[in-house]
Structure 1
Amino acid sequence: MAVRSPVSIAVLGAGSWGTALAILLSRNGADVKLWSHLQAHAAALQRERQNQAFLPGHEFPPALTAKADLASALTSVDEILIAVPSHAFASVLEATGALISPGSTLSWATKGLLPGTGELLHEFVERIENIASTAVISGPSFAAEVARGLPTALTVASRSSEHATRLANYLHSDNFRAYTSSDVIGLEVCGAAKNIMAIAAGIADGLGFGANTRAALITRGLAEIMRLGLALGGVAETFMGLGGLGDLVLTCTDDQSRNRRMGLALARGLSIEQARQEIGQEVEGIPTTQEIRQKAVSLGVEMPITEQTYRVLYQGLSPRAAVHSLLGRSQKRETG
């Protein structure tokens, strides 16, 4: 379903995911302004009509233009969509808030927690003036497959059903299905915590533990994500949906996942910095592991996979020792 009436959308963040969403929205009939914080990158995007740096081989539709000036990107738009890494989210949002007029609508496709505070992203957004309605986009979706037009489904969550429906309609096409939800908290927790499980799955697979281990890790990983999400006020059904189970399975099983590749690299004996250089893009699960672990400790939520992943990333525990520590835990009922 293409956008039915002329609509202007600013996509802030010209990495692989922001670019893929900009391409999708533009194909659906929207006038899209894709913002990069780097002048040279924006100029290259506009000149080459594709993102050679982060999503090569996917031509931009005619209605997609690249901008380096944030004020220009935000001028006369109907929707603002932020798609930057979590470490850049606060600075981009604050700059945006200073430029927009009251009554603006804003959404984000960033997955993670706010670095330093561990806040869910919507908690920070609520402190920004001039924003009337917000929404979050999340689900099992690799950027390259969205840009190729391969069938994809994800979830749009907002406390405003009208906003969720409108944004879902902007995204919806013959190859892209967007479901709506009101559970912003649950969707954000899933989108952040699944990256931890992907690192753990990569470690287990890299050590050769096999499909049985991977299946157990995904299942128990979902259980601890759900425990945390419910403690924070999420809705149980969200964790069994696209943003929960769907995204978890995708990122734990496919090597397009940067977080899974981080785990594979650590299992090969690479340091975190060596693995980062090999991957070449942001690995959200590294800071998220620390932030989720702190949140779980403060709430008294048991998250054993998160704990062992934290020890590997921040305390020097060997990947093999972490897996054996999980297997050596005392027997218990499967109560979730």
Structure 2
Amino acid sequence: MISILGAGAFGTALAVSMQRESDARTVWLWGRNADAMAQMQASRETPRLPGVTLPDGLTCASEMSALPDHGPILLATPMQTLRALLTTHADQLSHRTLVICCKGIELSSGLRASQVLAEVLPDATPATLTGPSFAADIARGLPTALTLACGTAACAETLQTQLSTHNLRLYSSTDIIGAELGGALKNVIAIACGAAIGAGLGESARAALLTRGYAEMQRMAAALGAEPETLAGLSGFGDLTLTCTSEQSRNYRFGASIGRGEAFDPAVTVEGAATARATHDVATQRGLDMPITAVVTGLVEARLDVATAMDMLLSRPLKKE
């Protein structure tokens, strides 16, 4: 049994891929909107994934009281709502294996997702699933590779076997810190790249931001105890490349809207906006030099425009690479 909490596009796509794999595997998908979940259960469709049919064995529910009492639980809710979810449903989630699928840093505390989980549910077993992926690709059965990190190799390998599918190839890791930071920080750089393209600054500017942004990611990851090779893998460089180069990325589109001076749909979750502010706070506290993160924070908070932000970056002292 696999349970997934969060019936947004990504959580639903994971449910579709995992249920489609085998009739012997049962997937239970939870969403907080009772009417929407009832409609999904009846119609076998969701507006989150147009053209995708939900497999017959997939159960869509809105009552946490029906949460299966065994098997891993995937948490596919937004980062900034994770603490509330864990707190509200602590009784059902305590002592379970919880696989975090959201990407970000909590704005109120500066904590990574597994740190939030440890505070709220210290008896749970944390893991993280992250890497370069779009929900539509996963749901359509297109090949996707992700990182699955857990505190021990045995835990990671067990989850790897339980959660892998024909189109979803999972690579195991024991570096939760690096996996989480890669997934979180790349969203900040994606906003910067989107802003550059939206403002008409060109592909060369995007390449520079992507490369120097990767250096910032490595700098913070090293300071927080991550393994360097993790950031060079799927959860770091791989996810950064995808997110900074595709219109399917919400963070990239958000940045592009800033660059064009256009409003962005407030109903769309942009994890990088809060993560930029949280990361900037952590970097300041630790004395880390993260100029791209700083200007993205200024853009998100509407303290800077793109022209000023670029001037700030280009006027920095010349240095060795």
| Bin for the TM-score computed over the shorter chain | over 0.9
Q: Which amino acid aligns with 2:215?
A: A
Q: Structure 2: give runs of 5+ residues left out of the alignment.
A: none
Task: Give the 3-state SS of the residue equivalent to 1:136 in structure 2.
Answer: strand
Instruction: Return closer, same or farther for 1:314/1:320 CA change in 2, 3 Å cut-off.
Output: same
Q: Structure 1: give runs of 5+ residues left out of the alignment.
A: 1-7
**2:293 equivalent among 306, 312, 332:** 306
Q: Which amino acid aligns with 1:258?
A: R
* Structure 1 residues 254-310: Cα deviation after superposition (integer angstroms, max 9, x where no partner): 00000100111111112xxx3134xx4201111111000001101111101001111
**1:288 equivalent among 251, 275, 278:** 275
1:186 has 2:178 as partner: yes
Deviation at 1:167, TM superposition (A): 1.8
Match of 1:201 in 2: 193
Q: TM-score, normalised by structure 1?
A: 0.91
* Structure 1 residues 221-276: Cα deviation after superposition (integer angstroms, max 9, x where no partner): 01001100110111100110000000000000000000100111111112xxx313
Same amino acid, percent of matched pairs:
39
1:57 has 2:51 as partner: yes
Match of 1:275 in 2: 264
Match of 2:35 in 1: 40
How many equivalent pairs are there? 319
- Trace 1:215-294 onto structure 2 (pairs within 5 A): 215-270=207-262, 274-277=263-266, 280-294=267-281
1:87 has 2:95 as partner: no
Are the equivalent residues in 2 in contact too, given 1:86–1:115 (CA < 8 A)?
no
Are the equivalent residues in 1 in contact too, given 2:147–2:171 (CA < 8 A)?
yes
* Structure 1 residues 173-222: Cα deviation after superposition (integer angstroms, max 9, x where no partner): 33221101111011111111111101100011112222211111111101
* Structure 1 residues 78-123: Cα deviation after superposition (integer angstroms, max 9, x where no partner): 1111000012111111233222464x21111010112311111111
Deviation at 1:160, TM superposition (A): 2.1
**1:168 equivalent among 160, 165, 187:** 160
- For 1:305 and 1:269, the matched residues in 2 are separated by 19
Are the equivalent residues in 2 in contact too, given 1:134–1:163 (CA < 8 A)?
no
- For 1:134 and 1:36, the matched residues in 2 are separated by 21
- For 1:21 and 1:13, the matched residues in 2 are separated by 10
Task: Give the 3-state SS of the residue equivalent to 1:331 in structure 2.
Answer: coil
Q: Which amino acid aligns with 1:21?
A: L
Deviation at 1:171, TM superposition (A): 3.0
Are the equivalent residues in 1 in contact too, given 2:191–2:296 (CA < 8 A)?
yes
Q: TM-score, normalised by structure 2?
A: 0.96
- For 2:113 and 2:194, the matched residues in 1 are separated by 26
Are the equivalent residues in 2 in contact too, given 1:259–1:283 (CA < 8 A)?
yes
Range with bigger deviation, 10-19 or 20-29: 20-29
- For 2:297 and 2:230, the matched residues in 1 are separated by 25
Task: Give the 3-state SS of the residue equivalent to 1:76 in structure 2.
Answer: coil
- For 1:304 and 1:319, the matched residues in 2 are separated by 14
Task: Give the 3-state SS of the residue equivalent to 1:178 in structure 2.
Answer: strand
- For 1:28 and 1:92, the matched residues in 2 are separated by 28
Range with bigger deviation, 63-72 or 128-137: 128-137
Deviation at 1:315, TM superposition (A): 4.6
**1:177 equivalent among 158, 169, 182:** 169
Q: Which amino acid aligns with 1:198?
A: A
